Amino acid sequence: MKFVDLGLIDYQKAYDLQRSAVSDVIAGGEEQVFLCEHPSVLTLGRMSDERYILAPREDLAARGIEVLSIDRGGEVTLHAPGQLVVYPILDLKKYGKDLKQYMFQLEETGIGFLKSFGIDSIRNPGKTGVWSEGAGGHKKVISIGVGVKKWVSFHGMGINVSTDLKLFSLINPCGLGAPMASVESLTGRPCGLKKAKEVLIEKIKFNFIEGKFQYNT
């Protein structure tokens, strides 16, 4: 499994790299995990409801925020600088050939990631993603939406590290009306993307490479 840091990259360019990597893995090539952040962009998953975009399109355009329809599950999602975006291009035949189990394991990876920063987090039944747990109530920190082609995964997770949370007022995140949080907002301490990437790579290696894949039983 190869980890590739794409840095700050246009969403469409990252998507094109995903498609190429998916084709490579289908043909028997090496699994890859892309880590990156994007300029501000809204993406709409399959069957998304545009009423969850709360700002007029002309206002978004004036702020340079694109709106793109894409081939992942889930509703409207915001990507912006300070959010660690992770695209695992994995052969799911190696991991149980079960999409629900894969989603469970992505959440498990996110929970382990947040624990490394002293953040207690949970799953929220019926609502994909990872949520903080504490006196302030449940807030969504990690959004998850995936696509699969011939049992090879693409798209993935958006982890709010130092994201400007005010940007989420532009949407109803994932159609859930959920309050959003970031690593920095929950810890009260700065957290750079470099450190976040190092921690996340450790968690992915632990779960997917070292054979610690946990099954939802």
Would you please indicate which residues are annotated as catalytic (active-site) residues?
A: 174
Helix (H) or strand (E) holding 153: strand 152-160
Strands 139-149 and 152-160, bridge-based pairing: antiparallel
- Residue 153 CA, chain-centre distance (Å), reads 13
Q: How far apart are the first and last CA of the chain?
A: 26
> How far lies 217's CA from each of 38, 51, 59, 90, 136, in Å?
35, 36, 46, 22, 30
Which residues lie closer than 8 Å to 99 by C-beta, 6 or more apart?
Answer: 92, 146, 148
What tokens appear for 213 in the block?
């894949």
Q: Which residues pair with 131 in a beta bridge?
A: 122, 140
Torsion of CA 65, 51, 14, 38, to 10 degrees: 40
Q: Is 33 helix (H, G, I), strand (E, B) or coil?
A: strand
